[in-house]
Amino acid sequence: MTTAPTTWLEGSEQPLSAAYDIALLDLDGVCYRGKAPVDFAAEGIAAARANGMRAMFVTNNANRPPHTVAEQLTSLDIPARDAEILTAAQAGAAILADDLPSGSVVLAVGGPGLHEALREYGFVVTETADDAPAAVIQGFNPEVNWSKMSEAALAIRAGARFVATNLDATLPLERGQHLGNGALVAAVVHATGVTPVSGGKPQAEIFHRAVEKAGGGTALAVGDRLDTDLAGARAAGVPGLYVLTGVSDARDVVLAIPAERPAFLATDLRGMNVPHPPVTVEVTDDLATASCRGSVATCDGERLTLGGAELGANAASLGLDDWRALAAAAWASDDALPALNSMPVSPCVTSSR
């Protein structure tokens, strides 16, 4: 028996920047790493804008206010205005504004971006539990320490509502993956037993707010992290473009659960400006076969093959169509985990698209 399952991967005869009105672009790992630019980010965004695509930069990093983010992007040859930035700090403050009246006291654990977002909604910001805050909101800041997190724990134990701007476990910087806000939030959760509501990705609302802020239209979410960027895109009903420039790698994509699967795959932001070929999938008995142009992959849950051969060392250098076919075959298989665990290395995708 042969069936054709939904593979999640989509094709586009047009460049994505012509097919969609707005790019909802992640920052860390997509546009820059710390102070360093990501290769081809400026080039990809400039070409997308030339095709008529608008840019909204949607970030889970709540440390800095929008004008500081815009200044950094501009310094990296990605011109940006404050109005094109939406941070998790702004999304978290909006959550509090839905429930608390203006003038409420909120304990902020985080940086200038979080403090500014709270004040824009009319909240009184404090850093001590002695002020009996109505809520605690925690966002990333390199200076968050034991004392500040203890104040948050004291306030939460006294009944304050707990909101986290985001729950990313790691933060991609120049030297690699550093502790993210989610790792710090976990300490407060462990101390209080209270799980926070999150304002950032993968929550759908931050994507909806970004589209509204951009003036509406069809959106494409672009990210490097499956559990936030791409999961959030799925939750929001927005097609996602995954790029191989940050946290998750090619192997992670092949293993992705349905809720985190992207609609399109590319190595970097130049992938916004090219057509994307369709991927066809057939399942016969227990064997899934996926084809993308000349690349053919199969998966039976135990073995993942490309062109009839097991990956082995070939996984170290794949073309983008190979990667697309491998992902689609694995996704269509009932259980691809054993097949992927047998791969000696993570796939390294060499195509520039």
Active-site residue set: 26, 28
224 vs 58: CA distance, rounded Å: 12
309 vs 323: CA distance, rounded Å: 14
321-341 CB burial, b ≥16 within 10 A, e <16: bbbbbbbbbbbbbeebeebbe
Are 215 and 246 in contact, with CB atoms under 8 Å apart? no
15 C-beta neighbours (distance < 10 Å), count: 18
326 vs 317: CA distance, rounded Å: 13
Alpha helices by DSSP H, listed for the chain, are: 16-19, 41-50, 66-75, 88-99, 112-120, 146-157, 181-192, 204-213, 231-236, 250-254, 320-332, 337-341
Residue 83 amino acid letter? A
Are 152 and 202 in contact, with CB atoms under 8 Å apart? no
353 vs 271: CA distance, rounded Å: 5
Residue 323 amino acid letter? W
